[in-house]
Amino acid sequence: MLITLDNFYNIKDYNHFIQNALENNIYFKEYINIKEPHNWIIYLKDEDKPRFIKYKKVEDKYKRFLSKTITPLFENEKILFKRKGGQDINFTHYITPKVFKNEDYILIFISTKNIVRFISKILDLKIYYYTKVDKKSYYAVIGKDSVDILINYFTLNYSNSLVVLVDKKNNYKSVPVFYKTPFDYEIDSKIYLFSKRLVKNKTYELPYYYKGKYYPLSRKLKDD
């Protein structure tokens, strides 16, 4: 079930309830509605529904506006991504992997891992694994030099077949680009990330391919 507490409690209370859930080993996941008012949403198993606090159920039709918050891997990330108040804290802080905070990046679709491995080897690039949707995997390349190299390689060898979902600076006019930000991509109803299930985890650091080798996260998540 999906619920929100934001209609009834402040951030201090919210964090108190979350800490209680952690201490009592209750399975839950946190999401943010990327549409205003950017409420925080909690996924709980039906048997764990709150019995002594107020909450509002979220209808399934609103799933497509929910973006998973960062799942902390380390103690410093628990502090960094703990919910805070104040006008200086933008909701995107809690849902954005580190690579998408870079000054320049593209989010791309590449059909197979073998191609990703091959390209990372011959071009000497880091290619970050972002997510998988309906058996299709999506990757991020950051830094203008790296993006230029990848774009030029595909232009020369694959007749502009590169599928670019997001181009942060919109520098590559010759390549079709579908979305302005990862969040625009997430809420598109046609290829929506959460169309079949809610994403369980989103990490600040991402696994990546480099020089033909795959580098996983340094710490494995329990329910990946």
pLDDT band at 129 (very low <50, low <70, confident <90, very high): confident
Task: Note whether 147 and 105 are within 8 A (CB).
Answer: yes
pLDDT band at 190 (very low <50, low <70, confident <90, very high): very low
For residue 167, the model assigns a pLDDT of 66
DSSP letter at 144 equals H
Residue 30: partners with Cβ closer than 8 Å, 6 or more residues away: 18, 40, 41, 42, 43, 68, 69
For residue 178, the model assigns a pLDDT of 54
pTM reported for the whole predicted model: 0.81
Task: Note whether 104 and 143 are within 8 A (CB).
Answer: yes
Angle, CA 165 vertex, CA 176 and CA 201 arms, to 5°: 175
179 bridge partner residues: 166
Q: What is the mean pLDDT of residues 163-167?
A: 68
184 has a pLDDT exceeding 80: no
What single letter denotes the amino acid at residue 132? Answer: K
> Cis before residue 50, ω within 30 degrees of 0?
no
Pairing of strands 213-215, 40-44: unpaired
81-102 pLDDT per residue, tens:
999 976 557 888 898 888 887 7
> If you write DSSP's letter for every residue of 56-94 in order, what string do you get?
EE--GGGGGGEEEPP---SHHHHHHTS---STT--GGGG
143 has a pLDDT exceeding 60: yes
R_g (Cα) of the chain, nearest Å? 19
